[in-house]
Amino acid sequence: MTAAYDPLLRRRHLFAALLLLSCSETALSARQCADCGSSPVPYPLSTGPDCGDPSYKVRCNNGALMFDTLNNTYPITSITPETQRLTISPSPLIPDTCVTADISTGGIYLDSSSPFNITSSNTILYINCTEDLLESPLNCTASSLCHAYIDASGLGACSHAPICCSFKAGGSSTAHKLRVRSKGCSAYRSFVNLDESLPVRRWPQPALEFQWVSPPKPLCGSQSDDCSASPA
């Protein structure tokens, strides 16, 4: 009888497949972090050293999920594990100014080697810009979306700042950072999946979306393997 029809060999293959499936499911369930308040923390996001994947660190602060960049911390407003995306609430404007509060840390900076990046679903409005931005490839014309936003949002302090620009994030220069500074643009707003044909009053709340890459799958080749351990 050939090996293709060997009942013992077929049983061994079936056992190995079931073992791998069971091991993978056990690893994910064992490693997923507990909820943060009312917010689930899907794998691979990690709120501690004993769950999730430490490379995908988020923080649970008094029942609220927070996202740490290299230079600041922002509240997480949504997580969609199916598309491996999360959104944060960007820094607010300092009252009676046209400056975002995170100008003191230069805006949003991600580690370029981290599994997170800024997605192209974000429409960014740079506000209160210097003339240096006029030489950039951004849309800094009078028809730029940022002018409509300033006019409709009643941002009095920003109405005196004539130069503002709009663009889609996610390119090589904005995949890991959104800069705010005095010699550039001192404020920004971000909108996810913005329908530019809508009036400003129907725009979504400001948010910035990140996407994460898939983590390595846990290694599990036999019953003696520790499937919950991180891959080497």
The residues near 40 (Cβ < 8 Å, ≥ 6 apart) are 79
Specify the residue for token string 């109405």.
159
pLDDT of 226 reads 46
Beta strands in the chain, from DSSP E residues, in sequence order? 33-36, 39-41, 59-61, 64-68, 73-80, 85-88, 107-109, 116-118, 122-129, 165-168, 177-179, 185-192, 208-212
- Between residues 99 and 14, the one the model is more confident about: 99
| 222-227 CB contacts, 8 Å cutoff, 24+ apart | 222/19, 223/19, 225/23, 227/23, 227/24, 227/26, 227/27
* Per-residue exposure over 177-197, b if at least 16 CB sit within 10 Å of its own CB, e if not: bbebeeebbbbbbbbbebeee
The mean of the pLDDT values for the chain is 86
- pLDDT digits 0-9 by tens, 59-87: 999 999 999 999 999 999 999 999 999 99
Confidence of residue 216 (pLDDT cuts 50, 70, 90): confident
Position 10 pLDDT exceeds 80: no
pLDDT of 115 reads 96
Give me the residues paired with residue 139 across strands.
166
Confidence of residue 178 (pLDDT cuts 50, 70, 90): very high
d(C-alpha 110, C-alpha 115), whole Å? 10
- pLDDT digits 0-9 by tens, 31-67: 899 999 999 999 999 999 999 999 999 999 999 999 9
Confidence of residue 161 (pLDDT cuts 50, 70, 90): confident
Whether the model pTM is above 0.85:
no
